[in-house]
């Protein structure tokens, strides 16, 4: 089982982590400096790295493993099954959803709105050999649970080597 296959991937199908670029350490130091500087300021629901004033809607996820399956759990507060899509194509499991604002109050002057609305998408590359029919998804109390049966281990067949005549 390749642990790398369960890491989130970006749009270009590369693992979403830093490589061996010599400027990576410089970038990490600059990011750390900005994080330390901004530590005392309120974020109002924004995650580090999101654009100024734009909330990050990416759901928090856990990936766990048992002998028989993988379980992906995503926090999707306020969403129901009609708001969420789970797709599997080319070895990639994609979770998409949309948070919608459907309430309008005309008599109030809002000074701060901490609720966020918009769409999100998360993708995970699954190990080779996963049967798409074995994937099950359910949502309850704002928590999406996706269960993926592990593929059968590859069979090793010993082939006898005979001398050529």
User: Tens place of pLDDT for every residue, the chain, 165 residues?
Assistant: 555 556 565 555 554 454 567 777 778 888 887 777 666 554 444 454 454 455 566 788 999 989 899 999 999 888 888 989 999 998 899 999 888 765 666 667 766 666 667 888 889 998 888 889 999 999 999 899 999 998 888 788 899 999 987
Query: For residue 62, what are its two tokens?
Result: 């856990």
pLDDT of res. 119? 85
Closest CA relative to residue 94, chosen from 69, 59, 65: 59
Q: What pLDDT score was predicted for residue 43?
A: 47
Residue 32 parent element (H or E): helix 24-38
Residue with tokens 């390749």: 2
pLDDT at 151: 85
Residue 140: its pLDDT value, please? 92
In angstroms, the CA 144 to CA 71 distance is 10
Please give the domain boundaries of the chain with CATH numbers for all domains. Answer: 8-102+111-149 (2.60.40.790)
Closest CA relative to residue 11, chosen from 117, 94, 98, 129: 94
Q: How far apart are CA 31 and CA 24, in angstroms?
A: 10
């Amino acid at each position: 089982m390749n642990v790398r296959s369960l890491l989130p991937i970006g749009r270009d199908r590369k693992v979403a982590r830093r490589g061996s670029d010599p400027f990576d350490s410089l970038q990490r130091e600059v990011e750390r400096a900005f994080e330390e500087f901004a530590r005392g300021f309120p974020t109002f629901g924004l995650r580090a790295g999101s654009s100024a004033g734009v909330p990050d809607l990416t759901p928090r996820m856990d990936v766990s493993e048992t002998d028989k399956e993988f379980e992906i759990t995503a926090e999707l507060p306020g969403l129901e099954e009609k708001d969420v899509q789970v797709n599997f194509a080319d070895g990639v499991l994609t979770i998409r959803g949309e948070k919608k604002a459907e309430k309008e109050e005309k008599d109030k002057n809002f000074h701060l709105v901490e609720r966020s609305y918009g769409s999100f998408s998360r993708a995970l590359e699954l190990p080779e050999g996963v049967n798409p029919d074995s994937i099950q998804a359910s949502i309850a109390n704002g928590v999406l649970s996706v269960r993926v049966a592990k593929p059968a281990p590859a069979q090793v067949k010993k082939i006898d080597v005979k001398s050529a005549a």
